[in-house]
Structure 1
Amino acid sequence: MTRRLQSDYAVLAADVNELLPELHRAILAAPSGLQPRYAALLARTYRAADAIADKFGYYDLSARIIDLMQTAALQSEDDLLAGSVAYVRGEIYFASQDLDAGRRMLTSAADKIRVSMSEAATATYGTLHMRAAVMAARAGSALRARDHIEEAKQAARQVNEGVHLGTAFGPSSARIHQLALAVELGDVGDALRLASGWVPPMAMPAERRSHFYIDLGRAFHLADHPARVLSAFREAQRIAPEHVREHSQVIDVVDHLELITRGELRDAFARFSAGLVKSQGRSAFGL
């Protein structure tokens, strides 16, 4: 889990390759009382595998892995783990751009959680609304996006910032998602206000911290401050290089600014662009 949250994909791929067959064998060989525990470990391992598939653009493989993750979560008999699977399943809807259906799926999963049950339950509820907020914003539904982020912020106030069932959540994570919402909705003033004088805490996982600087760079792009875009993206790259190098939003912004800037700044964007890997939405089955 730590390697996934730190965007250490190369090492993660090797670990997952060894763990998956071992965990499947363990479930088959274990007495019935231990099978749910091994199934929960299997679900978390499939989540790590999905992070790699989704990151590198193998969206059909990602969808298949998420189905396997869901099966393992059901075997675990852990309702909150099922909620975390719904959070991951949101990736499918982002990839297909079926955003309203994805938002409804996340909302339905959140509605099944008894928030008062535990801190993990509150955090899972909050993460689902956090992701639903981004989906609504990307679909252009500002009111729904703000409703969802308010639900997430309310949940965040009741938990400690940290990693809950594999997802970073808490007040700082909610703030980073609020910045993402502002950027998706084109509200430059709100985006820059949210980022002004604030940095994500060092204890936060690298991937989430780098997200903050990616969205800050996108906000500076909307505000027509290309030098600040480059500075923000460089910081995101410093924190989590494997996360940034294939990030589609980073690539889109850098490609655009490389075309319209001049002189030393254009050269700087060209050098930054040379370190990016531009995926073509690959298919694991050659489609």
Structure 2
Amino acid sequence: MAPVTTWTGQDANALRNALRMSVTAFAEYLGAARRTVAKWSSQGDKVRPRADMQAALDTVLSRATPEVRERFEALRAVGTSGAAVGAARPDGGAHPDTGDDGDGDSDSDGDVRRRDLLRGAAISVAAAPNVAPLLDALCSPAYSEGATSFPQFTRAVGAAKIDYQACRYERVLDRLVTLLPSLEPVKSGADGDQRPRVEVLAADLYHVVGSVLLKVGDHGMALVAAERSTRAAARSQDPVAIAASARIMTHALMGNGHDAQAVALAGNAADSLDRDTRLASTDAVAVYGALVLRGAIAAARRDDRDTAHAMLDEATRAATRLGYDGNDRWTGFGATNVLLHRINIALTLGDAGTAIAIARTVPLDKVTLAERRASLYVDVARAYTQWGRYEHGLSALRTAYEVAPEEIRCRPAVQRIAGDLAMLANGSVRTAAVDFAHDAGIRL
């Protein structure tokens, strides 16, 4: 393995992820301030750690196991490869280094190389036993021999979306492993009028793939899926589909530590959607609002409060224009969804008290999607844990588990909260937190 000549924030973040450490744990391990490590994560290659931290990072890497070093190399490759850089273009186009020659075909050889690099970086989770077959289907699919009609494929992609929003991830993975090999035969059998609609379905399909991979912590391959979604949407020439694919790309960029690029992409894609459609349909308004919300979260992660709150206000205006809490184009967007994002952003900005206060105003009867409801309780658990109210944090985590067990077992973020509760709480609460984690299948 080649030595790191000069550490950047991006390299340090890759090492942290390779070690499977939270920002707090990595800061303690290095003897650094948590804010310093968070800055490395948010600013990436724009920041260089101090000389003493350079030496500390050298030491940590030199003592790492071969498995950790392999993951570190894989994650560095994601951070500096054409995949990540190309994904960051605000217009959603491919970077010249991605191997996209303009004909819309994916660089399958590059995908295979990335797959081989990134396998070691994927988090193994009991709730997601079929992730490896999904990676195979994504990077080197064997085309399905059975004929799948366009209506059948449409229904199957919709069913995958429904299962994802219901947090039935094992079922989603099974569906995706079957759907990906069916995509090319469906494209081949489509007539002229159907081809753009098939590309929209392809964009939706890869959107689900990327979303699931983000859930289980495989951020590198989620970026590959997001690229595929972007390309398919561009071929469809459907402005709403293009904007919807930008949403998963924004999320994937954030997962790989490119928060500034995510803010730019979300803002530019939302502006393009507004310009191209005048937000004349409910689908356009919902996708616009959802895009702005993702940009707000990315801005908060950069500690850019002004941009985060400006985007939240813009999302509020979009929700008012929409006039209801719905699920248009699978966004789950509406005024209640904006409230959920306000909670997450308050947490990200370090204001647990504000997050809890907002959470108390959420009309739970309007949070109809299991994924969103479980995420709400996870955020509440995180807020109470940050606030030192560990018993309340554990109670919220238990409620989240009741709503969506696979969501709780699957998400690395939940593992970190459960670990914090088990480490920081005292007495009976600590014992209860450990017992809950064991019963829920959460690895501490």
- In structure 1, the residue matched to 2:271 is 111
In structure 1, distance between residues paired with 2:424 and 2:197: 54
Q: Does 1:163 align with 2:327?
A: yes
Find the counterpart in structure 2 of residue 284 from structure 1. none
Q: Look up the SS of the partner of 2:192 in the other structure.
A: coil
CA displacement, residues 22-61 of structure 1 (integer Å, 9 cap, x when unaligned): 2321111221221111221222122222222222222222
What TM-score results when the alignment is normalised by the length of structure 1? 0.91
- Distance in 1 (alpha carbons) for counterparts of 2:443 and 2:241: 33
Distance 2:202 2:365 in 1: 30
- 2: CA distance, partners of 1:219 / 1:195: 10
Distance 1:258 1:199, change over 3 A: farther
Distance 1:238 1:253 in 2: 16
User: Corresponding residue for 2:347?
Assistant: 183
State how 1:96-175 maps to structure 2 within 5 Å. Answer: 96-114=256-274, 115-159=278-322, 160-175=324-339
Which one is further off, 52-61 or 178-187? Answer: 52-61
**1:210–1:240: 8 Å Cα contact kept in structure 2?**
yes
**Equivalent AA in structure 2 for residue 178 of structure 1:** R
CA deviation string 1:189-227 (max 9, x = no partner)? 321221225342256210011111111111112221100
Task: Tell me the C-alpha RMSD between the 2 structures.
Answer: 1.8
Superposition map of 1:223-262 within 5 A: 223-262=387-426
Inter-partner Cα distance in structure 2 for 1:272 and 1:94: 30
* Partner of residue 168, structure 2: 8
Instruction: Tell me the SS of whatever aligns to 1:7.
Output: coil
5+ long unaligned stretches in structure 2: 1-160
Q: State how far apart, in whole Å, the 1-side matches of 2:443 and 2:338 are.
A: 29
Runs of 5+ in structure 1 lacking a partner? 280-287
Query: Could you tell me which residue of structure 2 aligns to residue 222 of structure 1?
Result: 386
Cα separation, 1, equivalents of 2:367 and 2:361: 18
How high is the sequence identity, in percent, across the aligned residues? 26
Query: Which of 267, 275, 281 is matched with 2:431 structurally?
Result: 267
TM-score by length of 2: 0.60
For 1:195, the aligned partner's letter is A
Instruction: Flag the 1:247–1:71 CA change in 2: closer, same or farther, 3 A.
Output: same
Q: 1:33, 1:198 → 2: CA distance?
A: 43
Alpha-carbon contact 2:165-2:369 (below 8 Å) kept: yes
Count of residues paired in the alignment: 279
Larger Rg: 2
Q: Which amino acid aligns with 2:373?
A: R
| Alignment partner, residue 233 of structure 2 | 73
The structure-2 alpha-carbon separation of the partners of 1:236 and 1:124, relative to structure 1 and needing over 3 Å to count, comes to: same
Shift in CA distance, 185/2, structure 1 to aligned 2, threshold 3 Å: same
Q: Which amino acid in structure 2 is aligned with residue 257 of structure 1?
A: L
Answer yes or no: is the 8 Å Cα contact 1:214–1:236 preserved in 2: yes
Deviation (angstroms), 1:278: 5.2
Give the counterpart letter for 1:132 in structure 2: G
Q: Which residue of 2 aligns with 1:285?
A: none
Give distance in 2, aligned partners of 1:33 and 1:14.
30
- Work out whether 1:209 is the aligned partner of 2:373: yes
